[in-house]
Structure 1
């Protein structure tokens, strides 16, 4: 049934877009020069480039080298460490047609090493002249959770919280997503990012999509696509204060990778999640809270097997924006919790996470910022290779970021 829905959804949106786009120019847009004469602007003249890079050091005041989080930061814990490029990203983007926008983002520091990997590669097809209805095709962020969709360039804590980031590894999937938002709301979403209020970006007031479900740069393994939906609204009070409320959920089948697979093992599991979001944007005080519940695969150390199990987790964050002398200081604190499996780790590793972070982001100018964050963590992560593994400790983490 989900496959039929996915096919109908995809071809229905394509047909709608073609109907809207009939009769429009497909190769160029005219502009004017200084004399008012019309000048033809080719599509390649509208391609733009931006990006950012993050260099980290996690080795200060580390109390337990066995405490780590590979999903968060592969230079955290272990025998190595030192300076580490967490991200080196370039973004190529442009409105190459009145109704066609493209976005390609490679990362040159993927997987703990300095090699390139595609993070985003998609194009948006506008279904109306105001671009209020859009169809996004390709690999992009799945609309599930505020912090998941918030760019790492804007996020205050160095890593996303386990509770909802465990739903979609690297936050991205290949699929087709439909987004709707009135023009006024789209402008508000843009303002929440461009103003420095740490918005999540424009993923529509309503989103609905289908995607593979096995992670980015990966094909589907069970012939069953995932379905996701999200509803959000950024309210603006007469005082100018903005707050946003959201609700999101998804469902699908996931195929787990096993450390020691056998023919008797169950590898495919039904999973689903749902949960709310509330964000009070920092003007100057800010507050965020997200939580989700659901079911999915999880390793059980008592029977040495992967089972279907409940999961839950989320976070609460407070922050404050203080501007002085042309610089911006944003102190913040976050507590996050997760109880469940991580489906994309071997044996759907069992996790129990309780973590408190206290930090400050220093924005010296629009092109350079520094984050200092102290982490106190209690993490259990168990699978068949390590069925009894609880680690507790603390460390000071530093990140320098350049924006261009």
Structure 2
């Protein structure tokens, strides 16, 4: 029987009394590779060589661990410069009133509304607006609107200020705000509705006779909850012909002599309006009431027959109350307004025709409309409006008294957002706005192209 080297080692360990506990170490040693062959060492010298000096370097100074880098300061959000917050938009209306009509009367004119009525008129710029607007501060917004299609005397396309004001909000939600400058006076619905959105080509005489150009210089306070402000915006942006955001409650004081005219007395007008848009089923409805009071100082001048229109006192009572209803077209819509009050007016009888006094006035309008969406990718809105008014026009020389009955049938064709075409047929029975203020009847066919930018 052959005895392996491993067995021989174990036997030697047992015979020598070595503990079996050391066997693994012995085994490890027995399995270790054999040591290298001995190398002959050189003969020792007579004296041992001194040990070489050991170079001892100074210990490096202890360096404290580097502190963690400090967190960078929070980034300060810089406000944009005010000029980067200003936006620009606008619209232009080009009108032509000489299309064939059933009954043409060149003596039928309307200086307050469409100045292109009457003979010897062709194409005209009815409105040419630019609007500069934006939030220049968290609590301050501006709105500046010049019009480049105004008329002064026989000069057309004159630039003039329509709006120039700042909205100063009291709270962060902008529910409470003051409007300071020249702006629309919160009276009625159609007066506040932009001409860019209105269906009828001109505002009605009954309500618009209260305020020339719908504006004056003053201070107005508006309040509306945030959700109602969003609703006002939706009613405009959605194409439903809203009037814009003039608050649920609007209060104000203003000169009272109408836009771009100086105050002529020390008694400013005061105005108040309450309106509320709500949803009735699937349709939005808005109802409102309001009124104003003040004293008006009008311009009286000699007439062509050399007779003078004499005003009864320099400051005459100028006051009105109004109710408004708007059923937004979804698709059928209806709107109506009626106002009554007193205001400067030329007399009508033989004993009063040369006397201007504060006289009773009343009138209103009603309009039906139907919104047809997605007609070959476009929107059509036909409408029918009737207007009645009996009262003076205080801002015209000698405040002539008007008797107006009009019916307008038209359709607005929204080709796309930037382009609209409106055609209208007007049947009018009204007195002329020029002396001798005779009653005139006639029909007018008009077309207007509006481009928005």
The reply on whether 1:222 has 2:265 as its aligned counterpart is yes
Correspondence for 1:12: none
2:311–2:356 CA contact under 8 A, matched in 1: no
Correspondence for 1:156: 199
Cα distance, 1:264 vs structure 2: 7.5
Cα distance, 1:386 vs structure 2: 0.9
1:123–1:137 CA contact under 8 A, matched in 2: yes
Correspondence for 2:443: 394
What TM-score results when the alignment is normalised by the length of structure 2?
A: 0.78
Deviations 1:239-258 (A, max 9, x none): 43100000010000001111
The reply on whether 1:318 has 2:360 as its aligned counterpart is no
Deviations 1:336-394 (A, max 9, x none): 110000000111111000000000000000000000000000002477x415x010010
The reply on whether 1:368 has 2:416 as its aligned counterpart is no
Q: Secondary structure at the match of 1:188?
A: helix
Instruction: Tell me the distance in 2 between the aligned counterparts of 1:182 and 1:341.
Output: 38
Correspondence for 1:269: 316
Q: Secondary structure at the match of 2:191?
A: helix
Q: Which runs of 5+ in 2 are unaligned?
A: 1-74, 303-307
Cα distance, 1:148 vs structure 2: 0.1
What TM-score results when the alignment is normalised by the length of structure 1?
A: 0.88
Deviations 1:312-356 (A, max 9, x none): 011000000102121000000000110000000111111000000
Deviations 1:139-170 (A, max 9, x none): 00000010000000000000000001000100
Correspondence for 1:305: 355
Q: Secondary structure at the match of 2:232?
A: helix
Instruction: Tell me the distance in 1 between the aligned counterparts of 2:83 and 2:431.
Output: 50
Alignment of 1:210-359 (within 5 A): 210-237=253-280, 239-260=281-302, 266-301=313-348, 302=350, 303=352, 304-323=354-373, 324-359=375-410
Deviations 1:63-120 (A, max 9, x none): 100011110011111x321000000000000011111000000000012711100000
Correspondence for 1:48: 87
Computed over aligned residues only, the root mean square deviation of the Cα atoms, in angstroms, reads 1.6
2:161–2:260 CA contact under 8 A, matched in 1: yes
Deviations 1:110-145 (A, max 9, x none): 127111000000000001111000000000000001
Correspondence for 1:101: 141
Correspondence for 1:89: 129
2:107–2:432 CA contact under 8 A, matched in 1: no
2:322–2:339 CA contact under 8 A, matched in 1: yes
1:61–1:394 CA contact under 8 A, matched in 2: no
Cα distance, 1:300 vs structure 2: 1.1
With 38-47 and 197-206 compared, the bigger mean Cα shift is at: 38-47
With 161-170 and 61-70 compared, the bigger mean Cα shift is at: 61-70
Instruction: Tell me the distance in 2 between the aligned counterparts of 1:205 and 1:386.
Output: 43
Cα distance, 1:61 vs structure 2: 2.4
1:67–1:391 CA contact under 8 A, matched in 2: yes
Correspondence for 1:66: 107
2:311–2:357 CA contact under 8 A, matched in 1: no
Name the CA shift for 1:46/1:348 in 2 (closer, same or farther; >3 Å): same
1:266–1:306 CA contact under 8 A, matched in 2: no
Instruction: Count residues in correspondence.
Output: 365
Cα distance, 1:39 vs structure 2: 4.8
Pick one of 185, 188, 193 that aligns with 1:142: 185
Correspondence for 1:30: none
The reply on whether 1:208 has 2:246 as its aligned counterpart is no
Q: Secondary structure at the match of 1:147?
A: coil
Name the CA shift for 1:288/1:351 in 2 (closer, same or farther; >3 Å): same
Name the CA shift for 1:264/1:296 in 2 (closer, same or farther; >3 Å): closer
Correspondence for 1:10: none
Q: Which runs of 5+ in 1 are unaligned?
A: 1-35
